[in-house]
Amino acid sequence: MSVSLTLKNISRRYVKDNEEFMAVNNINLEVNPGEFLTFLGPSGCGKTTTLRMIAGFETPTSGQILMDGVDITNVPANERGLGFVFQNYALFPHMKIFDNVAYGLKIRGETGEAAAKKVRDALAMVGLTKAERRYPNQLSGGEQQRVALARVLVLRPKLLLMDEPLSNLDAKLRLHMRTEIRRIQKELGITCLYVTHDQKEALTMSDRIMVMNRGHIDQLGTPMKLYEDPATPFVADFIGQANLIRGRLDHIDGDGWGYFAINDTILKARMGQQNPPAVGEEALLVVRPENLHIGETDNAIRMRIVNRLFEGDRIDYHVMIDNSSQEKPFSMSVPFLPGTEIVDTDTVVNVAFHPQAGVIIKG
């Protein structure tokens, strides 16, 4: 029952402050049956607009939406057979949980024992079998959100669309619900599109992530691919924490390693696969804070420690390339283990990384 979804050159133009702008700009996407795909990006990048066009709440200015190869661009929302879970899950306060979940079936004309079984199955799936006689205000926020999910799942939608469904929950519950939603989605094998601006949520839950930036796709790939091989500085910075070090691609050796020049220092790193710079070009070296090490001399650069933050399990050093006019310090995260040597601020040290842990991308 899983479906595929295709977006072909989808755009949406709006008028804001008397000016036209493209909230969504020529998106092409293939979602596989049973896939959990997340739209990730900062506020205003067009995630919700894209999801609303798929749902049928918004009409594309141009382009086509296909489900299992059938064009649904002009099919009304209520005939698309989709389930939508919002951030504001507004249950009916005067109805018991059972009736809240049964509501959609009732509208469809499904009542009686068969319908009741569907409701109980949906409540069991979200772990709320015992709550069926309670009212929404007798449940916690997380439980209410699970009822909202059951209310959608009971209708067996072909495609599940979720827009920031966890953002009203407290941090601990959010972590728990990530796992729950993923478990249920896998159990049902349902294709799911999920919108979030939380990169951790996207990394932990998704099969693939579509990173959006100002209405277009910056990169589409598995969480690990995005983390290891960011296509743009935006993706490198948005997914996890990254140091973006400015320099020049000096040369590439016969094995494909890049040699990156920062003033007089040459550092060896992987060449980005998505968007590699040309030899001689200004470029960026992306190295994550946890991959920078103090004191080793191989593949190292001299840096001055300008600040030190003790975080318990780790020490976060802020470092600047020595004798540079760098605007913002880089970050180096060192595990704090028994015997770890603490380095004072204002010390100049060798900061090294393994060539595999650095990636050179277009600046």
Give the residues lining the site for ligand ATP (CB under 6 A): 14, 16, 23, 41, 43-49, 197
Instruction: Output the smallest distance, CB 50 to ligand ATP, in A.
Output: 7
Q: Compare residues 9 and 111 and give the one whose CB is closer to ligand ATP.
A: 9
Looking at the Cβ atoms of 55 and 97, the one nearer to ligand ATP is 55
Closest residue by beta carbon to ligand ATP: 48
Rounded to the nearest 10 degrees, how much is the dihedral formed by the CA atoms of 52, 157, 142, 125?
A: -170
Query: Measured from the CB atom, is 16 or 130 closer to ligand ATP?
Result: 16
Q: Which is nearer to ligand ATP, 49 or 206 (CB)?
A: 49
For residues 45 and 72, which CB has a smaller minimum distance to ligand ATP in the complex?
45
Q: How far is the CB of 15 from ligand ATP (least distance, A)?
A: 6
CB atoms within 10 A of CB 305: 20
- Distance between CA 166 and CA 267 in Å, rounded? 42
**Closer to ligand ATP at the Cβ: 47 or 80?**
47
Q: Are 137 and 106 in contact, with CB atoms under 8 Å apart?
A: no
Whether 356 contacts 319, CB under 8 Å: no
Q: Which one, 100 or 219, has the nearer CB to ligand ATP? A: 219
CB of 55 to ligand ATP, least distance (A): 12
- Least spacing, CB of residue 223 vs ligand ATP, in Å: 19
Cβ distance to ligand ATP smaller for residue 51 or 320: 51
For residue 3, the minimal CB distance to ligand ATP (Å) is: 23
Dist. CA 80–CA 67, nearest whole Å: 9
What is the nearest approach in angstroms of ligand ATP to the Cβ of residue 21?
A: 7
Measured from the CB of residue 175, what is the shortest distance to ligand ATP in angstroms? 20
Give least dist CB 28 to ligand ATP, A.
17
User: What's the Cα-to-Cα distance from 349 to each of 295, 296, 303, 343, 352, rounded to whole Å?
Assistant: 6, 9, 6, 9, 10
Least Å distance, CB 86 to ligand ATP, is 11
Distance CA(119)–CA(209), nearest Å, equals 32
Nearest residue to 126 via CA among 144, 112, 105: 144
CB-wise, 24 or 286, nearer to ligand ATP? 24
Closest approach of ligand ATP to the CB of residue 200, in Å: 16
User: Nearer Cβ to ligand ATP, position 58 or 143?
Assistant: 58
